[in-house]
Structure formats: C-alpha cells, structure tokens
Structure 1
Amino acid sequence: MRILVLNPNTTASMTASIRAIAEASASPGTEIVATEPLWGPESIEGHFEGYLSAAAVLDRLATYDEPFDALVMAGFGEPGREGAQELLDVPVLDIAESAAQMAMMLGHSYGVVTTLDRAVPQIRDRLLTAGLLGRCAAVRGTGLGVLELEADPERTVGAVVRIASEAVERDGAEVICLGCGGMAGLRDRVSAALGGVPVVDGVAAAVRFAESVVGLGLSTSKVRSFAPPRPKAIGGWPVSARPS
C-alpha cells in the first residue's frame, strides 16, 4: 500500500517532520510518500492563505504522476479536501477529521490545541461541517505561529502542554487533538506531561484510517457530492507543468 501525505504549505522541513511521524505510524508494508505544493504560502494562518493553499494542493495533485492508494491531507482544518475527493479515485482523509473521529472513540469529549487564536474559528467551522463539533469541548490556540513550532521545540511543547491542561481542567476535555500538522511528533511528550491523558496526532490517525479504508476495499462515494469534475475548459489549468 502506498499513501501520499501532502503538507499544504511549502515549508520542506515541515514536510519532513510530517513524513517522519507518518512513517512511524504506518503498518509494515505501507509505503509513505510525502510532498508539498510547488507554489503557495510557507504557512497557513487564515482563510486567504488557506484558499491559496487549496488551489496549490489541487494543482499538485493534478500534476502528480506517481501512483498511490490513498491521500492524507496534513492541514488541520484548511479547505480543499472536498476538491481532492472529486479529483481523485482513491480515499482522501484529512488530519482534522481523522483526529476528531479517533478522539471520540477514546473519550466523551475532546479538545483541540492549535497555533494562533485566529485559527480557532476556522477549525470550529471545519468540525461543524464534518458533524464533529458536538463533542468538542474546546478549541484553544497556543499563540504560536506555524513556523514558530519548529523554531524552539521546547517552547512549543511547553505551550501545547499549558493550553492542553486548560482544555482538560477548565473545559472538560478527556482527549486532546494536536491541531496542526507542524505539531507532528509531540504526542508522547504532551500525553506524559498531562498525566496520561490520550493525545491524538492527526497525521498518525489519518494514516491508520487510510490503511483501514484501503484494506477494506472502500473509497470515496462518487454517486453525488464527490462525483468527478465535469469536463470543461479551465483557463490556465493546471498552473504547474506535468513532469516530463
């Protein structure tokens, strides 16, 4: 089985971190291929950058020539997932919905710890659209920008633990979801600092769900909502040239 993991921003070091946790989480025999768009924002912190990234992600997929059995979209709450479901014939999973789905199997309510506070409404909207907001106790920001997560790992862990503790103690969250692909790999340290509260890494959860969906011989329904795009002229599309 070959799973493509797509970082929605163009920061290669973040792609490498996401690849590492995806490979560590995959079952024996599962090959992980990780990449990022060929153009677009270096990080996604708001709707404007999110929609630019969605176009860049779809462009990357439209010009990606290697075969794969499932796609994991490693942005937490960014747009574009539905477009990928229309474009591709393989299962498409995103880390926000995968993390929330897994968290609800582990506790009555869950909390999401993310980056900047401005990301909170966007994540809540994504969970609402997915039908997953009802059991979300809180979505809280750490105040750290996406690119800051890698700059000082100790500061990042401290901030995530502090905000996660608030979600558990004040909001009643029983499980914590790491609300950014850039937080990949923090799960064990955060869980230990919280006294064993389950912590879900969305990249790891999505990889495991992808394996299950492919293993069961299932994929995205094409009968209505995610039917393939209708054939028509799209000026300037795709933006990037296919590799020769």
Structure 2
Amino acid sequence: MFERIRGRIGSRSAEPEALSPDNLPQHVAIIMDGNGRWAKERGLPRAAGHRSGMKAVKRAVRAANRLGIRFLTLYAFSTENWKRPKAEVDFLMRLPQEFLAIELDELIENNVQVRMIGQREGLPAHTLEAIDEAIRRTAGNAGLVLNFALNYGSRKEMLEAVRALAREAAEGRLDPEAITESDFESRLQTCGMPEPDLLIRTSGELRISNFMMWQLAYSELWFTDIYWPEFTEAHFYEAVGEYQRRTRRYGGL
C-alpha cells in the first residue's frame, strides 16, 4: 500500500501536535530524490540542487528528533550513482564533509548518533574521514540514530550476507538446512536496527531503487511529487500522519 502526495500540505497531520505519540514509526527511511530536477527547473547547476538538498536533510533530522523517532536512514549515495559524471560524483563525495562540518556540533547537542551503512571500498579518504569523525564523536549519544546509506546497494548487501552464510556452512559452523531469517538478517549491515516502518520517497518516482529491499518487505510507503530540496518538516509530519492512519496487518486480518 502506498500514498502519493502532490506536495500541498493542508491537513492537520502536518502539525506534530496532531500526531499520536503512541503510534510513531520506530524507523523512517528516506530516498532523497529530485535534487537535479529541482535545480534544472530553476536554471541552476545540479550541484546547487545537491547543496539545497543538505538543508532538507537538516529539516528531516529536526522533524524526526522532535517526534522522538528512533532511527532515520537517508539514502545518500547508491552503488549505481557511480555511473553519473565524474564531476558530479566528486561533488557528492564532498558533501558529507561539508554537511558535517556545519551540522555536527548541533547533532551532538541534540544527542543524535551518526552511523553509516554501505561499502567503504571506493569511497574517497576525505569522505570516510568526515563520516568516521562524526561516528566517533556521536558514539555515546542515545537519541535519534541518523544512519547514512552511502555507497549502498541492497543487492550487494544481500549477496555479502549470503556469502557470509555460505562460508560458515562450508567450514561446518552452520547447518544450511537450519538457516533462519534471523540468521540472514544478522549478516546484513542493518543488524541491530528495526526494519523501517515507513519509507518516504520524493520527486514522484514510484520505486525503491535497490534500497533496503529485504528490510522494506512490510514497510508503509509514502511518495510525494515534491523534489527533495523542497521537503519540509511539515512534509515529514504529513508522512507520519498518513502512517498513523493505516492498519498494518502483516498478511493477517
């Protein structure tokens, strides 16, 4: 089930006070899409869209923190994004450093813990240094977990989990017939985190684009036509409000 929103915020659920504190998603995942199209429509370079998208990240983090959401996973750079022009990729690889240089102190002040999922191999040293510093400096924080999916692809993640299980089985440490879903999940990079209750995708695209495919099996999906740089705290509250209006049956009645 999914809901597609045209980007006009008019319902009362766009206000945090209208949301039930007893039915909040533990984990919200966001596919942040539309930076380039937002810039193109305004006659700006794509880099301007990506930079404006950083402001939307800050708004989403503030909204999630205000509601008491436990985990927020942001799809920052996919394994497929390497296909983009080198100049754009180089710019995107500088954004974590730029974002964290500006925002890390506020994240620490607000008890936010930074994490990362994705392949470290191939990422520039300056990107990893910025992420690792944020992870180190926020490791003791106990509030919102801000999880960046960087150089992340769900198929790659699942293949690595299968290979890990296969190695253990080949070494005689695991019975292949006894492998459970929990065994598989424990080899995923999201081990220790709850599966996303709610997935948000901006820009009008209606697909999940190799993002957390195992973890999203029973997530509620919320799509909006607005581009990521336009995403506001009110849009976040609207998505959570729609989540609260749904009944999650998990295949039952």
Alignment TM-score, normalising by the size of structure 1: 0.32
Q: Which has the larger radius of gyration?
A: 2
Alignment TM-score, normalising by the size of structure 2: 0.31
